[in-house]
């Protein structure tokens, strides 16, 4: 009989559920622990990118067909940007990538999306503990000791590997990897669901508005087919503190007074009070694995610093972790797991995180963003290049090169 290491995943959000799914696929037993009872909400923009779909397709090749036309999954066909000078640029998702008539991006309330993923993680190999909170973790001479709280009682569980996927407030990251919140690499975001917002794109383009007063953050409107919109804004935490910005007031101000939006919200109705949550950004490479632990998704600070997308990166880290666990078990090289994981995640995501960090920093020069949008609206070739950049990380590297901007400005 094969003897497996004792593995616990803390957190059954997109990162943890994905990791659990792939561990089960490889018939590796593990425990999946979450403080919540699913379905549960998570403050988010709810945009499910092509990267997330790529992994979802590996979990279920028919997933896009299943979601297409389902009320809780709104298909989205492009992105609409507003530059700091108020000019717009619409980027449709690349036609060749459209899989027949199937969408390449969705918007789905996290209550629905996370529940869907959590259900996909149900398996005889996954022992699931709901309403169970990790309150403490420590290394011992024989493994990693978890302190878990359920129904007011504290229980202990010893494992060989703890996978921290508990999001922004990860206990595992704090205790075992020594994470501290760094405002330069952290953003604050708020979300508010609305109904009745007018003038949304007919193909449900998600809207990112880089308004002058919000840089290097943005205001968003992500429409859903039931007439609801996910509306919110995010901003880097050091800038929030420096400018003493009150995000909730700022959101209210934009909706009520901004010339570009006030009419669109004139007859709209807020469905909730604005709710806030943190975004740990991948603008600084952190230690995401060590003796007896791995970190996934937000616990590993993997959110894209420019777009704020974290679901796809979280799922990718969960998938990589599960594949490497299988690999290390097969090769009987368990000790090499953390190092391999660290290398593989940043080999896979490092370049795009660096480009996104660059783009975020370049928002300190709004004229550059204005120039790109102005030129792209005039030049079909540049627009096509930008569309391709969404798909192609190598091409996106051009954005870090001064030559790209030189050509743009002088040609
Ligand atoms: C305002 C805002 C807007 C965003 N918009 C987008 C967007 O549109 N698209 C996108 O891709 N990303 C977006 N993100 C980022 C995205 O929400 C995260 O990157 C994503 O949720 C990360 O998934 P995760 O599984 O790592 O963590 P989470 O989704 O946070 O899941 C963590 C899980 O761990 C559980 N948990 C927490 N603590 C404990 C504990 N101590 N013990 C046990 N369980 C615990 C929680 O209940 C939860 O289920 C946004 C984030 C914010 C804040």
Q: Which residue has the higher pLDDT, 383 or 69?
A: 69
Would you state the structure tokens that stand for residue 390, as one six-digit string?
């969404």
d(CA 114, CA 278): 18
Confidence at residue 388, expressed as pLDDT on a 0 to 100 scale: 67
pLDDT bin (cut points 50, 70, 90) of residue 379 is confident
Q: Which of 44, 162, 312 best tests ligand 1's pocket when mutated (most atoms within 8 Å of CB)?
A: 44
313 and 349 inside one domain: yes
Confidence at residue 406, expressed as pLDDT on a 0 to 100 scale: 64
- 303: Cα within 13 Å, side-chain hemisphere: 25
Residue 105 CB–ligand 1 contact under 6 Å: no
Q: What secondary structure does DSSP assign to 290-318, as a single string?
A: ETTEEE-GGGGT-B-TTT---HHHHHHHH
Residue 324 lies in a domain: yes
150-154, 316-320, 396-400: least confidently modelled range: 396-400
pLDDT bin (cut points 50, 70, 90) of residue 366 is confident
Q: Which helix (H) or strand (E) holds 45?
A: none
Confidence at residue 357, expressed as pLDDT on a 0 to 100 scale: 86
CATH number at residue 51: 3.50.50.60
Residue where a domain terminates, one of 278, 305, 329: 278
158 and 197 inside one domain: no
55-59, 261-265, 342-346, 390-394: least confidently modelled range: 390-394
Confidence at residue 398, expressed as pLDDT on a 0 to 100 scale: 66
What is the tens place of the pLDDT at every residue in 2-22? 688 999 999 999 999 999 999
Q: What are phi and psi of 296, to 5 degrees?
A: -120, 155
Confidence at residue 363, expressed as pLDDT on a 0 to 100 scale: 81
Strand duo 7-10 + 30-33: pairing: parallel
310 and 169 inside one domain: yes
Residue 247 CB–ligand 1 contact under 6 Å: no
What is the tens place of the pLDDT at every residue in 215-231? 888 999 999 999 999 99
Does 197 have pLDDT greater than 70? yes
d(CA 147, CA 7): 15
Instruction: Work out the mean pLDDT of the chain and round it to a whole number.
Output: 91
Percent of the chain whose pLDDT exceeds 70: 91
Residue 14 CB–ligand 1 contact under 6 Å: yes
Atom of ligand 1 nearest to the CA of 11: 34
Q: Which helix (H) or strand (E) holds 277?
A: strand 275-280
Q: Which residue has the higher pLDDT, 401 or 106?
A: 106
Residue 404's domain comprises: 365-410
d(CA 64, CA 61): 8
Residue 249 lies in a domain: yes
Residue 380: CB atoms within 10 Å: 9
Q: What are phi and psi of 32, to 5 degrees?
A: -120, 120
> Pick from 307, 167, 186, 168: which is nearest to 240 by CA?
186
Residue 104 lies in a domain: no
Mean pLDDT across 332-353: 95
Residue where a domain terminates, one of 230, 246, 278: 278
Confidence at residue 126, expressed as pLDDT on a 0 to 100 scale: 98
202 and 351 inside one domain: no
Q: What is the CA(376)–ligand 1 centre distance, in A?
A: 34
Atom of ligand 1 nearest to the CA of 311: 11
315 and 375 inside one domain: no
Would you state the structure tokens that stand for residue 223, as one six-digit string?
């429409």
Q: What is the CA(298)–ligand 1 centre distance, in A?
A: 6
Q: Which residue has the higher pLDDT, 91 or 201?
A: 201
27 and 148 inside one domain: yes
What is the tens place of the pLDDT at every residue in 169-180? 999 999 999 999
249 and 169 inside one domain: no
Confidence at residue 380, expressed as pLDDT on a 0 to 100 scale: 75
d(CA 359, CA 286): 20
Q: Which residue has the higher pLDDT, 184 or 96?
A: 184
189 and 167 inside one domain: no
Q: What is the CA(279)–ligand 1 centre distance, in A?
A: 9
Confidence at residue 95, expressed as pLDDT on a 0 to 100 scale: 58
342 and 201 inside one domain: no
293 and 351 inside one domain: yes
Would you state the structure tokens that stand for residue 79, as one six-digit string?
């992105």
Atom of ligand 1 nearest to the CA of 191: 1
Contact present, 141 and 132 (Cβ < 8 Å)? no
Residue 69 lies in a domain: no
Angle between helices 50-59 and 311-330 (to 10 degrees): 40
Residue the block writes with tokens 């010893």: 158
> Pick from 162, 197, 167, 345: which is nearest to 268 by CA?
197
d(CA 262, CA 97): 35
DSSP 99: B
Residue 235 CB–ligand 1 contact under 6 Å: no
Residue 11 CB–ligand 1 contact under 6 Å: yes
Confidence at residue 408, expressed as pLDDT on a 0 to 100 scale: 61
Residue where a domain terminates, one of 320, 342, 359: 359
What is the tens place of the pLDDT at every residue in 90-143? 888 765 555 567 788 899 999 999 999 999 999 999 999 999 999 999 999 999
Confidence at residue 104, expressed as pLDDT on a 0 to 100 scale: 83
Atom of ligand 1 nearest to the CA of 34: 44
Instruction: Count Cβ neighbours within 10 Å for each residue of 23-46 and write b for 16 or more, e otherwise.
Output: bbeeebbbbbbbbbebebebbbbb
Nearest C-alpha to atom 33 of ligand 1 is from which residue? 11
Residue 171 CB–ligand 1 contact under 6 Å: yes
Give the three-state DSSP class for 50: helix
Q: Which residues pair with 7 in a beta bridge?
A: 161
36 and 122 inside one domain: yes
Contact present, 130 and 34 (Cβ < 8 Å)? yes
What is the tens place of the pLDDT at every residue in 279-318? 999 999 999 999 999 999 999 999 999 889 999 999 999 9
Number of domains in the chain: 3
CATH number at residue 252: 3.30.9.100
Residue 216 lies in a domain: yes
Confidence at residue 400, expressed as pLDDT on a 0 to 100 scale: 63
49 and 117 inside one domain: yes
Contact present, 210 and 362 (Cβ < 8 Å)? no
Residue 340 lies in a domain: yes
Q: What is the CA(260)–ligand 1 centre distance, in A?
A: 30
Residue 67 lies in a domain: no
Confidence at residue 401, expressed as pLDDT on a 0 to 100 scale: 66
Confidence at residue 92, expressed as pLDDT on a 0 to 100 scale: 86
DSSP 217: S
Residue 311 lies in a domain: yes
What is the tens place of the pLDDT at every residue in 23-39? 999 999 999 999 999 99
pLDDT bin (cut points 50, 70, 90) of residue 411 is low
Mean pLDDT across 220-243: 95
Mean pLDDT across 327-346: 97
Contact present, 170 and 295 (Cβ < 8 Å)? yes
Confidence at residue 69, expressed as pLDDT on a 0 to 100 scale: 82
Burial class (CB in 10 A: 0-12, 13-18, 19+), 67: buried
């Amino acid at each position: 009989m094969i003897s497996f290491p004792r593995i616990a995943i803390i957190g059954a959000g997109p990162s943890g559920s994905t990791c659990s799914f792939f561990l089960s696929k490889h018939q590796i037993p593990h425990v999946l622990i979450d403080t919540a009872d699913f379905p549960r909400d998570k403050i988010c923009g709810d945009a499910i990118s092509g990267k997330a779909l790529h992994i979802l397709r590996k979990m279920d090749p028919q997933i896009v067909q299943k979601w297409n036309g389902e009320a809780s999954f709104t298909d989205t066909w492009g992105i609409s940007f507003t530059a700091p000078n108020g000019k717009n640029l619409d980027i449709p998702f690349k036609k060749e990538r459209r899989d027949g008539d199937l969408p390449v991006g969705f918007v789905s309330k996290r209550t629905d999306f996370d529940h869907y993923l959590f259900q996909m993680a149900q398996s005889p190999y996954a022992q699931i503990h709901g309403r169970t909170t990790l309150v403490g973790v420590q290394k011992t001479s024989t493994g990693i000791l978890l302190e878990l709280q359920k129904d007011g009682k504290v229980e202990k569980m010893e494992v060989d590997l703890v996978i921290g996927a508990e999001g922004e407030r990860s206990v595992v990251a704090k205790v075992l990897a020594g994470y501290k919140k760094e405002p330069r690499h952290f953003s604050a975001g708020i979300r508010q669901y609305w109904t009745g917002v007018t003038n949304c794109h007919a193909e449900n383009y998600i809207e990112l508005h880089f308004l002058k007063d919000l840089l290097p953050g943005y205001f968003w409107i992500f429409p859903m087919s039931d007439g609801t919109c996910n509306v919110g804004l995010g901003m880097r935490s050091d800038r929030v503190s420096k400018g003493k910005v009150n995000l909730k007031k700022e959101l209210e101000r934009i909706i009520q007074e901004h010339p570009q939006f006030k009419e669109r919200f004139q007859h709209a109705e807020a469905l909730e009070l604005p709710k806030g949550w943190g975004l740990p950004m991948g603008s600084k490479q952190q230690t995401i694995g060590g003796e007896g632990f791995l970190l996934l998704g937000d616990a590993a600070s993997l959110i894209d610093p420019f777009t704020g997308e974290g679901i796809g990166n979280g799922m990718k880290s969960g998938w990589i972790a599960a594949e490497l666990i299988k690999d290390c078990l097969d090769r009987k090289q368990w000790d090499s797991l953390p190092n391999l994981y660290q290398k593989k995640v940043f080999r896979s995501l490092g370049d795009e995180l660096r480009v996104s960090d660059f783009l975020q920093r370049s928002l300190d020069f709004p004229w550059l963003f204005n120039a790109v949008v102005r030129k792209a609206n005039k030049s079909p070739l540049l627009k096509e290049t930008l569309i391709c950049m969404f798909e192609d990380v190598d091409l996106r590297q051009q954005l870090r090169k001064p030559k790209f901007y030189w050509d743009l400005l002088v040609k």
